[in-house]
Structure 1
Amino acid sequence: MRTKEKIGAYQMSFLLFTFMTGSSIINIPGPLIAYAKNGAWISLLLALTAGGIVLSCILLLHRKFPDLSFIEASEAVVGRWLTICLAIPAIWFQFHMAGGIVLDIGLFMTSSMMRQTPLYVFTLSMFIVVALTVRSGLETMSRMFVLPMFFVIVFVFLIIILASNHYDMKSLLPVMPDGFKPVLLGAYFAYGFPYVELFLFSMLLPYVNSDEQSMLSKGMYAALLLNGFCLLCVTLTTILTFGPMAAERKYSMFEVAQTVDMMGVIQRIESVIGFSLIVNSFMKASITVFVIKETFTKLFRVQNDKLLVFPVSLACFLFSMLFIAKGETRWVNAVTVLHPLEATVAYLLPLLVVTIAASFKKKSSSRG
């Protein structure tokens, strides 16, 4: 079944940058520095390399099956039943991702801004907005995300500049105080969040206009590199500002913004980082829910995919409430320790199986 909606190659690249940068620009530095210490930037470079490999597999599969999503390409290569087996962990983890992204917004709000408000108020409200956004379609999403993402990047780099008077260059040394093992642990964390999550775009690439396929690879790699640059900047900013205490900063850029005080005129601007986290997470959650809807549509050949949006969003909300019911400590452990392993099984393994199988297939196929 051909996709009715179509977007440009650069719009898809922008969606990739939005998805990858998303909540990670606020959430990555603290846990990453906790793992890798001053070598966090090396961990990011290693994880970025792994992300480039994942993206290469996705683009290779797309070149072979330009009109097919991952589910459709998998059916063409390995058959329907094996595709269903590969899709089950992927679907579960997509729900895990969507629920976790929105849950993080709620935890941020209840811990940093509105402590007396029940958590479900934020998560349910956000999923309602996400559902309405997903129903509007990918073309609308690719247009409406441009302006908010532009302001988010401006806000983040403005804070990086304004906080520069607190930087201590000595905090960057020694680079690997505990050897290379912590750097590898940091790379493992950053690989799982956000780089292996690139897999979701294997479901979206058929939306790109056929006459812009030649520009797609360049745009996607450029988006990935720009994402890596942004994450490097915020990670180094956290280390330069807080030094040995950087690993204890959960929402690091929010706390960096709290240090900004220029002659009593420019101060208390951490609210813009709160805005950035909410907007970024909303955009990433919208893309994730859209992919869940696409996965069900292609796997079960649903004719009216918009009917799935609200049930899927409700299921994601219930997932988020189930996560936090086990306690915030277990949730944090799941994100920082188990998330990369689960993502490898749910995303990377199916991608590698289908890509390797497709590489032995002589003729490409498409579905009209």
Structure 2
Amino acid sequence: MQETEKISGNQLGFLLITFVISTIILTVPGIMVMFGKQNAWISIIPASLTGLLSIYVMITLSNRYPGLTITQYGSKIVGKWLGRLLGINYIYYWFVSISTIIMQHSGFVNTLLLPKSPPIVASLTFLILCSIAVIAGIEVIARCNEFLTVIILFFLIPLLILSAVQGDANQLKPILGEGMIPVLQGSVSPAGGFMNQLFILGWLLPYLNQPQKARKASLIALASISVLIITVILLTITVLGPLTGKLTYSFLSVIQYIGIAGSFERLEALAVSIWVLGCFVKVSVSLFILCLCASQLFGLRNYRDIVLPISLLSLIGSAWIFKNASELLNYLAFTFPLLAFFNQSLLPLSLLMIDTIKRKTRQSLL
């Protein structure tokens, strides 16, 4: 870790918010309504509990091993060789995550803006920009994100207001008409795949200049994320109704609809801006974590030395990982929540349990 790089509690909170909501406000409503139907907005409530668990686990481990990332204190908890396996697992996980986000980004841009351009062009230019940000450091990314978060909210809030005007609250009925099972099924995607993304605290907390503010900043971020996602899903359902679960970018369809029906046209340009800005922060933070994991695992002095090679591999991965958009959607709906739950919740929770048992065993032997 570079000791000169530090971020504030507010910057940490903004990073968490942008990291989680950047891609989900356009894609997740459709996936959740696919399972939860008109009650999908309720699914966020049980899903947010997993976010609370992630915050508790990561902050507890960070307090026990101050100044260390999860890659580093994992070896102290489970031993050198298992710790290395843990590090390799997270390198693979973050590589797949970055490749997936880049493919999502290039597909989104090609669909709306550049249908005749090769996807590799959008991916390459985007990764170059993210690589520059990572080389600049996490402090620069955090400062940049403060400004970008204001822009995203400036674009998003008017869209939410216009959507509310066009919505029909009757689309939300009947509430819990089929019981809690569809609601719990709808919570799997945000719980396993998105709320638990707060586990990036395992790599960001060592850079926090005031560690005592970690809990407050994280809880405020979780509350903000939950309220924003509930709002987006509610508005999407009230405007589109059952059609929501059949659309890949359902909230984008809402924005296109209100643009045609209202006094403003081509409002999807604002959605594209929100997507691009949010994806920039998400990929930059993910790439930073991936480079940090690799440098710590292999004993490199500076993670910046491997940013460009890893970015090139991520570019190749984005072109190779899925054959088409249908495979990507199936992965996001069914596979990714389980993979994310294992890496973001189960592994950190296991580390905390093992460390707690070891500490109590030592105390009993004294």
Q: State TM-score, norm by structure 2.
A: 0.93
Q: Which sections of structure 2, spanning at least 5 residues, go unmatched?
A: 361-366
Alignment partner of 1:356 is 2:353: yes
The residue aligned with 1:35 is 35
Partner deviation per Cα, 1:12-56 (whole Å, 9 max, x = no partner): 122111111111122211111111111111211111111111111
8 Å contact kept, 1:40–1:186: yes
Structure 1 CA distance for aligned equivalents of residues 312 and 201 of structure 2: 23
Could you list the structure 1 runs, at least 4 aligned residues long, displaced by more than 6 angstroms after superposition. none
Structure 1 CA distance for aligned equivalents of residues 79 and 191 of structure 2: 29
8 Å contact kept, 2:55–2:215: no
Structure 1 CA distance for aligned equivalents of residues 330 and 262 of structure 2: 39
2 and 164 in structure 1: CA distance in 2 versus 1, 3 angstrom threshold: closer
Structure 2 CA distance for aligned equivalents of residues 100 and 319 of structure 1: 8
Residue 262 of structure 1: how far off its partner (Å)? 8.7
Residue 260 of structure 1: how far off its partner (Å)? 2.3
240 and 310 in structure 1: CA distance in 2 versus 1, 3 angstrom threshold: same
Residue 243 of structure 2 is aligned with which of 242, 245, 254?
245
Residue 265 of structure 1: how far off its partner (Å)? 4.0
Which amino acid in the other structure matches residue 63 of structure 1?
A: N
Which amino acid in the other structure matches residue 278 of structure 2?
A: N
Residue 197 of structure 1: how far off its partner (Å)? 2.2
The residue aligned with 2:363 is none
Aligned residues: 360
75 and 199 in structure 1: CA distance in 2 versus 1, 3 angstrom threshold: same
Moved more, 337-346 or 54-63: 337-346
Which amino acid in the other structure matches residue 137 of structure 2?
A: G
Query: The residue matched to 2:300 in structure 1 has which SS?
Result: coil
Alignment partner of 1:46 is 2:46: yes
8 Å contact kept, 2:134–2:284: yes
8 Å contact kept, 1:10–1:216: no
Alignment partner of 1:223 is 2:236: no
Residue 345 of structure 1: how far off its partner (Å)? 2.6
Residue 64 of structure 1: how far off its partner (Å)? 1.0
Aligned-CA RMSD value: 1.8
Query: The residue matched to 1:234 in structure 2 has which SS?
Result: helix
Q: Counterparts of 1:37-116 in structure 2 under 5 Å?
A: 37-116=37-116
Partner deviation per Cα, 1:293-323 (whole Å, 9 max, x = no partner): 1111221221122111111111111111112
The residue aligned with 2:264 is 266
Residue 361 of structure 1: how far off its partner (Å)? 4.5
8 Å contact kept, 2:74–2:86: no
Q: Counterparts of 1:1-368 in structure 2 under 5 Å?
A: 3-209=3-209, 212-261=210-259, 265-324=263-322, 326-362=323-359
263 and 31 in structure 1: CA distance in 2 versus 1, 3 angstrom threshold: closer
Residue 239 of structure 1: how far off its partner (Å)? 0.4
10 and 165 in structure 1: CA distance in 2 versus 1, 3 angstrom threshold: closer
Query: The residue matched to 1:36 in structure 2 has which SS?
Result: helix
Structure 2 CA distance for aligned equivalents of residues 246 and 175 of structure 1: 17
In percent, how many aligned pairs have the same letter? Answer: 27
8 Å contact kept, 1:36–1:182: yes
8 Å contact kept, 1:102–1:282: no
Structure 2 CA distance for aligned equivalents of residues 264 and 13 of structure 1: 35
8 Å contact kept, 1:58–1:351: yes
Structure 2 CA distance for aligned equivalents of residues 249 and 90 of structure 1: 32
Q: State TM-score, norm by structure 1.
A: 0.93
